[in-house]
Every structure is written in structure tokens, then in C-alpha cells.
Amino acid sequence: MGSSAGTLITPAQEAQYGAMYLRELRRYGWVLDDPLLDGWLNSLGFELASVTENSGSDYTFFMIRSRQVNAFATLGGYIGMNAGLVLTAESEDEVAAVLAHEIAHVTQRHIVRSVEAAQKDQIPILLGMLAGAIAAQSAGSADGAQAAIASGMSLMMQRQINHTRAAEQEADRLGIQTLARAGYDPDAMAGFFGRMGRISRAGGGEGGVPEFLRTHPVTTNRISEARDRAQRMRQDPPRDFSSRRAGHSHPLLPAGLALDRDVLGGPRQSHRFDLARERLRVLTAPSPPQAVDEYRRIGERSPDGLSDAQRYGYALARIRHGQAQAAVTELQSLIERHPTDHWLTLALAEAQHQAGDHATAVETYESLHRSMPNNLAVALSYAQALNETGTREAGVRAQTLLRPIARSSAADFSYQRILARASELAGDDIRAAEAHAEVAFLNGRAEDALNQLRGLQQRNDLDYVQRARIDARITEVTPIVLEMQRQGIGPDGRRRSDPRG
């Protein structure tokens, strides 16, 4: 704190460049857009962010479709976490520890401060170098390019902060404080760092080093310091926030007054992290057959067979592998044990739909929708199932489901994609065209989106509300396109120097 980093780039510019970075990642297929996982990650991230000293900062948490163990923070409060980190973590506390560390990088503006210290000219130059590296890699094989993008993009941003000992120490210190304030185990950070070090030593050589350690260098002293801080935190716990296990105290409430967990959306279920981890295992598997085989191997290795969470993952894998009826049976058994878990019930509805029992699937979806009317995951899954029936009536019903959450989900890629198809089925071609433009924008093709909106603007059958909405969106997108043009990025999202562009 106390640096002149604010003169290098404004918070608004940070948010703009962070959003561009996220859209660039999505364009290359690295963002895992899943409403259930996004909801879990955001719930965890914002709970931690709410107890930081700078809780007014904006954050965007997102999952990366990679089994490499890594996490990173970039401009504007954009924090990415690789699926591999969650798969490797042994508890939600360990995931929270990594998120708390990255949140500290954001609150202390370590990226901008490190650029300032290195006397870089402008943040856009840094991002231009990043985009240039992507373009150069994309000229090679698709697999090689994607691998380079996954590691290279996060590395270039992280190297601005992570190899500065002072920044890492500060992030560790504030992260452990945040963990304790939110009621998580303050030892989780040192525990996770230590386990990563053991994995590295067991792997042997550079190829065995987890990506997390390449972007977050860990030494024995650093682990010891983290353990010492955690020990001091336990001996003198923060008094301004109560433990999550004893209720949640909000910083804006008077001392001693806590909100019950039911008010905040119910108690955290003990197996939510386990379900999220298994869902990630399925969604990041190379193929559905390989996901099914992975669970078979897990079951063979365990003397007790698959846990309930692993059975959920196995059912998801079987749905994707065309074994939906077997998944229905598995999920019905799980729901008997966990009758209030909507993740399981939602998976059951999807399995029923894929098995061809559409009437029963609709009943299950309608029951979920009545109990959780504004839940994004329920609305999107139900609307997707309706879209797959392909009738006008289904499209109209899907639009009805999606309309109440339009404002809160405007920047959600899955929402816009499903809304576009629902609107097409319903015969609402104007709304479908708007949604298709948003899909292009969120997928890193801002100029393409602007061209679509301008074409839509020329229609003579727009009513006043439609025209005002389209005009407003053109006004918002135009400065972003101009900035991308200044950086040499074309309508398809590629830099104009790209030989394939």
C-alpha cells in the first residue's frame, strides 16, 4: 500500500483489461463455464473477500479447464483456479487458502506495483506482449498451442508478482489472516504448500514440478513462516469476525450480532466440496469413456468402494457416456441418502431427460424450479433440456424460465448461449440475435459482436425498448472494440499479425 500504482492504471482500466483477459481465455476454450461450479467457487471466494480489509473490491472468480495444479490473479480482481488444484486439494480449507492468497495479491495491487517497480511503460504493452505470445503459439499445432496458452498466459501475469519475495510474503500473511477471519483452518496454506513440495520431490526433475510451484515458488522457510503465522493466529484469533462454524458475523453488523447461516442461504453441506471436486473430475476428463474408466479404477483401488460424492461423479460420467438409465438408478439411491441436495436432484433430472423419460424429467425440473425459482443452474439445465426438444412451445417455456434472471446473468456465457437457442425456437429472432451477439462478445470476439449489433440496429421492426437496449449495448461495446483495434486484434479475436487470421 502507499505506492503510486494508481497513476499507472486506474481501477476502471484494470477491470477492462481483466475482462479482456477472461474473454481471451474463453476464446481458446480454457474457461470451464458451469453454473454449479461457478456458484460454489463464487460463494467461497466472496465469503473470503468479504472479510478482507479492502472488502469493497470487485472480484470475478472462474475455473480453468486444466488438470494442472495452479491458480492466478490478474488485473481487476479476476482470479482463476485450475480444476487440477481442486482435484488435488484434500479439503475446502486448502482451496480457500489458495483463494485467500490470490485475493491478497488483488487487494495489494501487486501486479500494477510490480510493473511500476520494473518501470514498464504501460499495462496495455504488457497485455500486448501476452496476446502476441498467444498468436505466435496458435500458428503451431492446436494441442501445443493450447498447452502453451494454459501455462504461458498465467505465467506471464504471475511472474509480474510471484517472484517478488515481499509480495509473496505479504500475500501469505494477509491470506492466513483472511482464512482465520472467515473461520477456515489457518494451517491449510502451509499444509497445501508443503504437500505440493512433496509431490515435486516425488516427481523428480523439472517435469515433475507442479505448475503451482513454478508460479508460486515455495521454500522451507516460507512454509515455516506460514505455520508460525497460523499458530499465532490460533493463539490470538481475530475478534472482529466469528468462526463460520459458530455462525457468520458480517463486518457491517454491530459487535456480537451474527447472521444465522439459514439467513445466508443455509448451512454449508459437509460434502459440497466433495461434489464439486467430482464434478470437475468428469468435466475435465479427456472423454466420457475415460471418465467412466477413471471411476472404475478409483472403485477398484478403494476397499470401501466409491464414496457418495464419487458415486455422483460416476453417475455424471455415465450420463455423458450414454448410460443415462443406469445413472438414474444410481442417483435415486443417492437422493434417498441426501434428499435435500439439489446437485443430486438436478443430475437426476438431466439423467431422466437423457434417458428419454421426458415427462418425469419435467416433473423433477418443475419441482426444483418451484423450490429454487431464481437458481441459475436449475434454470439453465431446465432450459437446455427444453431446447433439446426443439419445439416452439419448449422455446417459449425456456424463455420464461430465463427471463427473471436476465439482469443478474447478462455476463454469463452459458446463459446467453441457451437464451439464443430458446429465442430461436420461440420465434423471437430479435432477442436471439442480441443473445448471439453477447455470445460472440463473451467469447473474445468483441468486434464481431459489435457488427452483429449494428446490423440489428438497422432493422425497421424494432420497438422502442428493443432499440434503446441495442443502442445502449453498442455504446458499451464500442470503446472495447476500439481498444482491441488499437492492439491489432481483429473481428475474430485474433491479432492481425496471426498468419491464420
CA distances from 28 to 36, 64, 84, 272 (A): 22, 11, 18, 29
Give the DSSP H/E element, type plus range, for residue 64.
strand 60-64
Tell me the Cα Rg of the chain.
23
* CA–CA gap between residue 80 and residue 66 (Å, rounded): 11
Is 101 annotated in a binding site? The answer is yes
What one-letter code names the amino acid at 213?
L
Question: What does the angle CA 312 – CA 313 – CA 318 come to, to the nearest 5 degrees?
Answer: 100
The number of helix segments (H) and strand segments (E) in the chain equals: 23, 3
Contact at 8 Å (CB) between 124 and 14?
no
Contact at 8 Å (CB) between 114 and 161?
yes
In sequence order, what are the residues at sequence separation of 6 or more whose Cβ sits closer than 8 angstroms to the Cβ of residue 207? Answer: none
In 3D, which of 327, 340, 338, 345 has the Cα closest to residue 291? Answer: 327
Is 105 annotated in a binding site? The answer is yes
Pick the catalytic residue from 24, 38, 172, 341: 172
CA distances from 393 to 189, 346, 388, 390, 427 (A): 52, 22, 12, 9, 10
Give me the residues paired with residue 82 across strands: 64
* 172 belongs to the catalytic site: yes
Give the DSSP H/E element, type plus range, for residue 74.
strand 71-74
In sequence order, what are the residues at sequence separation of 6 or more whose Cβ sits closer than 8 angstroms to the Cβ of residue 404? Answer: 373, 374
**Cell, residue 299:** 472403485
Provide the residue count of the chain.
Answer: 501
* CA–CA gap between residue 43 and residue 39 (Å, rounded): 6
Give the DSSP H/E element, type plus range, for residue 80.
strand 78-82
Contact at 8 Å (CB) between 430 and 462?
yes
In sequence order, what are the residues at sequence separation of 6 or more whose Cβ sits closer than 8 angstroms to the Cβ of residue 119? Answer: none
* 102 belongs to the catalytic site: yes
In sequence order, what are the residues at sequence separation of 6 or more whose Cβ sits closer than 8 angstroms to the Cβ of residue 459? Answer: 430
In 3D, which of 200, 175, 170, 210 has the Cα closest to residue 190? Answer: 175
In sequence order, what are the residues at sequence separation of 6 or more whose Cβ sits closer than 8 angstroms to the Cβ of residue 215? Answer: 70, 72, 154, 155, 158, 159, 162
Pick the catalytic residue from 34, 102, 330, 447: 102
* CA–CA gap between residue 152 and residue 138 (Å, rounded): 12
Q: Phi, psi at residue 70, to the nearest 5°? A: -165, 165
**Binding residue positions for Zn(2+):** 101, 105, 168
Residues annotated as catalytic (active site), given as ranges: 102, 172
